[in-house]
Amino acid sequence: MARAVITGIGAVTPAGLSAPATWDGLLAGRSGVRPLTRFDASGYPVRIAADVQGFDPLAVMTRKRARRTARFAQLAIAAAHEALQDARLLPVPPIHDRFGVTIATALGGIDVIDAEAPRLAEHPTRVTPFLLPMLIANMAASAVSIHFGLRGPSNTSVGACASGTIALAEARRWIQAGEADYVLAGGTEAGLTPTVWAALCALKALSTRNDAPERASRPFDRDRDGFVYGEGAVVFVVEREEIARGREAHIYAELAGAGMTSDAYHETAPQPEGESAAAAMRLALTSAGAGPAEVDLVVAHGTGTPLNDVSETRAIKHALGERARTVPVSAPKSMVGHLIGAAGALAVLVGVLAIRDGRIPPTINLETPDPVCDLDYVPRQARSARIRLALANAFGFGGQNCVVAVRAAPGA
């Protein structure tokens, strides 16, 4: 089967407004968690978040288009534009029918609902006529297809926090099956709204460390008290290897494998022993033709919740056996919070750029290790290491698990 390789990366995250800026922020261990200013959060028990600051949609689209496009789709277009530019595929040939788009999200344009609800309360016909196309989850992928004239396969995977890795797995399948030559694949999310905030606070899933935002996201630390909600988008150009080599494109890494499972356990809590998560890791390795001994890095889901970090630690041990004791495990959510539908794509970005640069971002705020979480989580400072194969973990609400394996480019 054809190999799928990554030739372009775009990102708009709490760590930076581009992929290089995001990577620099992660390697430096800079926290993107701040007091929440998107709306008045004074009445909520949680008043911190990891938001994208300084983003201007007019840099990539017209004012008219921006007014008709929800923030999650705006972020996706910006990240896709950077990825295409990075891959030297701009301008894209008009109406390209071999170029697919799969951009995942969990909540879609939920911010539009919050914005339009007061108008609906005043009168039932005063909402914008673009309300429905702005809020539906497939609109990020559709907006990217429209914006760049891409007529290949298009789809939106909604797999909660695993959505981003599911999109990468789908892109790999399209390339292998010969359904596309190029795919824009990744995840996007922009759910910093009062409705989402009320729901998360009621769920008691978030960190309440309001007095020290930069220290709030603490994966695998004994004193973790919940995750930090974030927003952002990460998009890749995934390309058929023979085409990439034919046009002398820079190949970051091979999208080598993917594995999906379901916990079949609970709406929000992970399966305690991590058995299904471990199965997804094993499936990713099997499809990559690799074994546990070849894994050089695990990019953890690492939410910083009491249950997830223990379950994931157990999953890594189940999947990798003795290798789990020595493999580095990095938790980028310690710096950028939980990007929900984009979280898995961010994990893939970390794996790919760690392969390129031989550098592993740290897990910051890991000050007092939890005795039950006893792996090598690269605490507090970045580390140099030779990385040939990395696993990117993503485990979503409802027990949807998707793990992606990325490997150094063939011949590299």
Same domain, yes or no, for 236 and 302?
A: no
Which of 96, 147, 318, 338 is catalytic? The answer is 338
Same domain, yes or no, for 191 and 280?
A: no
Same domain, yes or no, for 71 and 192?
A: yes
Which of 81, 96, 147, 161 is catalytic? The answer is 161
Q: Are 69 and 80 contacting, i.e. CB atoms less than 8 angstroms apart?
A: no
Evaluate whether residue 160 is within a structural domain: yes
Structurally, the chain folds into a number of domains equal to 2
For strand 4-12 and strand 297-299, is the pairing parallel, antiparallel, or unpaired? unpaired
For this structure, is 81 an active site residue?
Answer: no
Token pair for residue 406? 């990325």
pLDDT (tens place) for every residue of the chain, 412 residues total:
899 999 999 999 999 999 999 999 999 999 999 999 999 999 999 999 999 999 999 999 999 999 999 999 999 999 999 999 999 999 887 778 999 999 999 999 888 888 877 777 777 777 777 777 777 889 999 999 999 999 999 999 998 899 999 999 999 999 999 999 999 999 999 999 999 999 999 999 999 999 999 999 999 999 999 999 999 999 999 999 999 999 999 999 999 999 999 988 898 888 889 999 999 999 999 999 999 999 999 999 999 999 999 999 999 999 999 999 999 999 999 999 999 999 999 999 999 999 999 999 999 999 999 999 999 999 999 999 999 999 999 999 888 999 999 999 977 7
Same domain, yes or no, for 48 and 108?
A: yes
For this structure, is 301 an active site residue?
Answer: yes
Same domain, yes or no, for 44 and 131?
A: yes
Same domain, yes or no, for 367 and 339?
A: yes
Same domain, yes or no, for 228 and 359?
A: no
Say whether 74 sits in a helix, a strand or coil: helix
CATH number, domain with residue 129: 3.40.47.10
Which of 81, 96, 147, 301 is catalytic? The answer is 301
Q: Are 394 and 375 contacting, i.e. CB atoms less than 8 angstroms apart?
A: no
Same domain, yes or no, for 219 and 311?
A: no
Same domain, yes or no, for 120 and 169?
A: yes
> Which residues form the domain of 378?
257-407
For this structure, is 161 an active site residue?
Answer: yes
Same domain, yes or no, for 136 and 275?
A: no
Q: Are 209 and 201 contacting, i.e. CB atoms less than 8 angstroms apart?
A: no
Final residue in a domain of this structure, among 200, 222, 246:
246
